[in-house]
Structure 1
Amino acid sequence: MPEEHVIRALAALAQSHRLRIFRLLVVAGLDGLTPGALAEALGLPAATLSFHLKELSNAGLLSQERLGRNLVYRADFAQMNSLLAYLSENCCQGQDCLQPKPLDCGC
């Protein structure tokens, strides 16, 4: 994934409403959600939701499909996986990653 796409995707997700929208769409899977269902779940006005959906779409994180009279939005899992792969590409310098040690809380 080109760096400019990574920056655009991370910038789009760096806003609380957009992050919540994207996470809901990931949970919805391939069924996706309509704007009405998203607005109801998040308590967002239609205009606000529309703005955030446009930003996520422009970042390549969402797909949109018209089904009859409804629009259905879905997370673009290929883009999400490309972003995650980019972020972890050189994880631990090619060595097996170690699990973080639990914090010693003194219990």
Structure 2
Amino acid sequence: MKSDDAIAALSALAHDHRLAVFRLLVRCGQDGMAAGAIARTLDLPNSSLSFHLAQLQQAGLVSQRRDGRSLIYAADYAAMDGLMGFLTENCCEGAPCDPAQRNDQEHCR
């Protein structure tokens, strides 16, 4: 993942409603959830939800598909994994992150 992509994803998640939507979609799995069900679950107006879903889609964190008359949204797990990998790429300078396994390495202090 490039820095620009990570910034776009983090910016999209830096809003309480968008973060709530994304976390809900992560819990729903790859089947996703219809927009109306998301709105009801999170008690968000449809117009507001549409805006937030568009922001998440533009950042590449959410995919959309049509199922009959419904729009189904799902978390993009590859994008989520890419963001997590980008954020932790140089974690603890390559040493184990678990303090019990670090053997008192000074570089993380």
Question: Gapped runs of 5+ residues in structure 1?
Answer: 101-107
Q: For 1:48 and 1:68, how far apart are their aligned partners in 2?
A: 23
Matches within 5 A, 1:65-104: 65-99=65-99
**TM-score, normalising length from structure 2?**
0.89
More helix by share: 2
The answer to whether structure 1 residue 42 and structure 2 residue 42 are counterparts is yes
Q: Tell me the residue number matched to 1:51.
A: 51
Aligned residues: 100
Secondary structure, aligned partner of 1:60: coil
How many percent identity over aligned positions?
52
- Give the AA of the match of 2:41: A
- Give the AA of the match of 1:10: L
CA drift of 1:31 comes to 1.2
- Give the AA of the match of 1:84: M
Secondary structure, aligned partner of 1:96: coil
Q: For 1:10 and 1:59, how far apart are their aligned partners in 2?
A: 9
**TM-score, normalising length from structure 1?**
0.91
Structure 1 vs Structure 2 CA RMSD: 1.0
- Give the AA of the match of 2:45: P
Secondary structure, aligned partner of 1:72: strand
Question: Gapped runs of 5+ residues in structure 2?
Answer: 101-109
